[in-house]
Structure 1
Amino acid sequence: MTSSTTTAPSSGQTHKLAINRLRDRLGSSDAGAVERFIARHTAPIIEGRFATFLWRGDADEVLVRHRVVGLPDPVSLRRLPDTDLWYATIELPEGSRVEYHFDIVRGGVREEYVNDPLNPRLAHGPFGSSSVAAASGYVVPTWSLHDREARPGSLEWVSLRSKALRREQGMQLYLPARFRAVSRYPLLICHDGEDYLNYASAKTVLDNLIHRGEVAPLVAAFVPPGNRLVEYANHAPHARFVARELVPFLTERLPLIDRASGRCLMGSSFGGVASLSTAVRYPQVFGSLLLESGSFVFTDIGAEHGGGPVFDPVVKFVNAYRARPRPVAERIYQTCGIYEPLITPNRSMVSTFRDTGMEVRYVEARDGHNWENWRDRLRDALTWIFPGEQKFVYE
């Protein structure tokens, strides 16, 4: 966290941050300075490589919970003397995107996970919403937003009875615009499918990228989990369901390319583990894997990994794979946010994958472990895996 006298670069010179200029005006007994300041600025205030978080109201303590590895968490805000305005300044490099909440302490009672009332920008996920701090240089990708010129594909709910999982397994099936039974389509199978649709704009992304000719028209199965912490942690029945039940089920009913090169298995976090472990159990069923912030936790020595009991089967799997790495697909697109705790194990896995002879494209983002980070990587990933218009050769 920076000091209250921090300066920021501007046009080759330095100048005081806005919060410090406000403090100078308060010293001149400008009674309306805070009101004008709040009306003028959107929180957090982005100035060069600095972000200033603001909170206004009565409190005993205000803290920013940001989940950025490398910075103190939480960051304590300080109150401007004789005002109800609280502030804290952190360094936020260009292109960064950070999700955050406030903790507010009043009378010894802590209110947690409070969104920033001065910031209209929110990101959503299965556990609720978060405020978003976007540094200079970050913009929401236009291809993730609704484009009325793009012909929409369709979503339909389908299900099959899984012997492996011992239940009826439903999913949302995406068919591209202009779908034709006489054509042949690549297949994308997505773990945590409903979350990708709800929080990563997956349908909109596919509609736009296919419409623009950047991605080949494809069929996508958005599959929700049962107990994901069990089924996604190197679970043999789950892998059998995906490779031996789901792929044949879809191939028999749809005009799909019935070769590994026409199939991609994807997932984020534990879904990344599920994708890799399925491919390890059933190698060469999928030509490509798309692994976003995979929970590839491992131990070089000892047994303490810090992830708790749910990570025990993951660590056992990743340790075993690292001890005997082998090619399981033709290509892997792997990405991780540099602000998340999983950045170190993901970086370590890159050389492990490459040493097997698999082609690996690895991308880091100035972001964290969240759905908008994973959304923002989809264009680069899908145009590499299934490039559009006369670029994709199925061999």
Structure 2
Amino acid sequence: MIETVNTNTSDSNSKAIIIMDNVIIGNNHLVVNSSIINIAQNLLNESGSGQILFYGESRHMETLATLADTEKDISLQFNSIEVTQPHFNKVLRIISWGKKLYKDAVCLKQIVKEADRIKPRFFIVSTMIPLNIYRFMSIMNSHKKQNFLMFLHGELEFIFKKKPTTGQRIKGFFIEKAIQKAGPNVRFIVLSDYIKKELVRKLSLDSRQIISINHPVLQYTRKNIQLSDPIVFAHLGVANKRKNSKLIFPLADAVQESNYSENARFAIIGRIEEQEIQIASDHVDVMSKNKQAISQEAYISHIEAAHYSLIFLSGDEYVYRISGSLLDSVQFQIPIIALEHQSVVELFEKGGDIGFLCKDFDEMKQVVIKLSQKDPLCTDRYATQIINLKKLSEKFYSKNASEIISEATKS
């Protein structure tokens, strides 16, 4: 145990929730896991006080402890567990995998033993590798009186990928078989309605076993709600092949060739994966220097100065793995200019006028040029788009997810 935050001396173990993550190390996945803690706090607040036990890697726990909301009348306890990653060396990799799988099995059995003792309301699995999901499903099924909630993240795309690699095919196999053999005491949480619909269809599942919530985001209120010169069109996060990020360069060039280039500025707020994307225009500012990731403070500062978020997703990329760029657009309430894509279309259906949904790249160019020209038919929608994004972002907050999970687990 590395830290305990106690805001309630109650030891009513029947009101406990256990959360486990034996994958994430360091400062990754903080938004998701801090949101899961908030979800657990909200679930326990329905009955007053309670206790949350979170098991994870020590450095990850240390940061989560600083982010935790300790105002709620809940006892919050962080327990450090060993999280191992296989060795990169091909010779040592097989040996390290064997050690990892053994240690993971021992760890889970110990946590399940603790769950048997305190009988929590829920045992939540935040992140787990596909092979472990399959291996541990039998253990979960055998504890019929324990309610398990398992979050499924980007690993789901391995089930649906049209041309998977051998490794992806193996991972998809284990996830698919694990989901199919899950007992009625195990429910899966996915991060969009479309993912739930497709998972139920493909695996012929009982829809009640899959709970759909919006991917959690942190609460935020946008301060920059007016368009100013120049209008900043930004690509959020790492620019790479999967995001189709290369399109920002011809887009910037198209505006430069118009008579209104002084009214527009293009930026990549993040680094470029240069082995995948080559800088192809002098008209795009890259905020990352020396190929390094920018700090979170700088990232937020640049986002607050931007006016529109450019989304170039296409095909089945980021359909079953939620795009961080898209989530940041919602969280920071930046109107979106995007190509038609399943994830984007779903957002527009939920949020209404939250930007411009373009059928192809030519239409996207025309939208950006009209905005640069200050066409009132486009620019006059800006304040409304931000208001709608604020309303949409509230649907992604932990409280909303808690209500969905609470209602779904009553049946």
TM-score by length of 1: 0.37
**Structure number having the greater helix percentage:** 2
Larger % of strand: which? 1
Q: Which has the higher contact order (CA 8 A, sep 6+)?
A: 2
